[in-house]
Structure 1
Amino acid sequence: MIRLVIVDDDILIRESLNIIIGIDPNIEVVAILENGKECIDYLCKNQVDIVLLDMRMPIMTGEEVLEEISKRKINVKVLILTTFDEERLISSAIKHKTSGYLLKSSKPDKIISGIKSVHLGNGVFESEIVSKLVISNQNEENKYKDNNLDIYGLTDREKDIVKLISKGLSNKEISSEVFLSEGTVKNHITSILSKMNLKHRTQIAIEYLSRSEN
């Protein structure tokens, strides 16, 4: 059973999510909270698997919640669910190693499948959000520099693979580009994830694209 907390300042949204998600027999909504402070207080006293978190809230924002979870080393996965797709908020979510970022316009079954996917250790990122950063990358392509990746201690080959991941290439396509087997590419990606302290392939792309904005 997945223990889930819903955090949103809009009572209609959080109650609707509670009803929709609560129908699934594999998910238990253990709390519905209206601001970030309530969320942190609850997490400090209770075992939770996933927080479904809004980014814009009074008293304590989603960004501040992510900072507190990181600072207090609370063992919980976070799936962002918001109406906002601002690049700054996306970058903040990635910085704090969230497991996913979905928009509230997503269909209920997509939100539920996203919760289950995050629980299994996968990343769930709205295609619109990734596309937003990719478009920004294409519009300012001449601003990209390899030293955006130097802080991670990546090899030249790993840097090449990061760039190809950011373009949306599959492992098979990457292997053709760099003339390596798919198995070797997978090994490189495992190394990249470790060095960049990320959990998911999609986070590699988003982290790289978001850093280009700095």
Structure 2
Amino acid sequence: MSIRLMIADDDLLISESLKIILGMDDDFEIVACVENGLEAVKICMNEKVDIALLDVRMPIMNGVEATRLITQKTNTKVLILTTFDEDEYICDAISNGAKGYLLKNNSPDKIKNAIRTLQDGNSVVQDVILEKIKTGLNTTVDNEIDKSNFTKRELDIMQCIADGLSNKEISGELFISEGTVKNYITSILNKTGLKHRTQIAIYFLKGGRL
């Protein structure tokens, strides 16, 4: 079954290019292309959209606010696809529920793979974006996170996620199975009320805040 996509970008050249590139792949079905965040929200509320590709800066409603409404009101997953990598956009978009954040200069194959990753229930944040999050936050976990809320192993898992490690890499780093890693991540999500691992990374790096 094809992954149903919605593209929101006020640059028609970009949106049409994405529509053509993604539409040529049998894995994807383009539901709609829109030019602002408000239209994106309406499409996701009225159509079955698996993944919404949102730009950040758009008229009427930006991609960050659209992300908040889409994730609150629908089951659509949001992938931010933008040229902007300012810290405020990154943190706000992820805080609002975006499960992926990529820059537009990525190859079509990387964008396609990111979409498939989100559809499989995982999150994707480009390395350069994760590095900006890590270097831009001037808090330290030792001083600010309340360690009493978590086991030592959960804190280890959170550190690994913040370092950008995959579940498989965490498994190798901590000498535990991938299934055990997933169980710890589920426990962390339940304790924090967060929705996915990328939010865990920011929560950890910001000393217990998102």
- TM normalised by structure 1 equals 0.83
Q: Which runs of 5+ in 1 are unaligned?
A: none
Moved more, 94-103 or 6-15: 94-103
Aligned to 1:21: 22
Task: Say whether the 8 Å CA contact 2:99–2:198 is kept in structure 1.
Answer: no
Aligned residues with identical type, % of pairs = 48
Question: What do the CA deviations read for 1:158-211 (whole angstroms, capped 9, x no partner)?
Answer: 2343234323453245426xxxx4465553233113323445444422332255
| Aligned partner (choices 177, 200, 205) of residue 204 of structure 1 | 200
**What are the residue-to-residue correspondences of 1:33-44 with 2, within 5 Å?**
33-44=34-45
Q: Output the CA distance in 2 between the equivalents of 1:25 and 1:185.
A: 33
Task: Say whether the 8 Å CA contact 2:53–2:81 is kept in structure 1.
Answer: yes
| Aligned partner (choices 150, 157, 170) of residue 154 of structure 1 | 150
Change (3 A) 1:210 1:28: farther
Question: What do the CA deviations read for 1:67-98 (whole angstroms, capped 9, x no partner)?
Answer: 22244x21111111000111111111211221
Moved more, 188-197 or 120-129: 188-197
**What are the residue-to-residue correspondences of 1:33-182 with 2, within 5 Å?**
33-71=34-72, 73-136=73-136, 140=138, 143-146=139-142, 148-150=144-146, 153-168=149-164, 170-172=169-171, 174-175=173-174, 181-182=176-177
Q: How large is the Cα RMSD of the aligned pairs?
A: 2.7
Task: Say whether the 8 Å CA contact 1:171–1:186 is kept in structure 2.
Answer: no
Task: Say whether the 8 Å CA contact 1:152–1:196 is kept in structure 2.
Answer: no
Question: What do the CA deviations read for 1:100-150 (whole angstroms, capped 9, x no partner)?
Answer: 00000111111111111111111111111011222335xx4xx31447443
Task: Say whether the 8 Å CA contact 2:77–2:118 is kept in structure 1.
Answer: yes
Aligned amino acid, residue 42 of structure 1: I
Q: Which of structure 1's runs of 4+ aligned residues deviate more than 6 A?
A: none
Moved more, 194-203 or 120-129: 194-203
> What SS class does the counterpart of residue 6 from structure 1 fall into?
strand
Instruction: Report how many aligned residue pairs link the two structures.
Output: 205
> What SS class does the counterpart of residue 81 from structure 1 fall into?
strand
Q: Which runs of 5+ in 2 are unaligned?
A: none
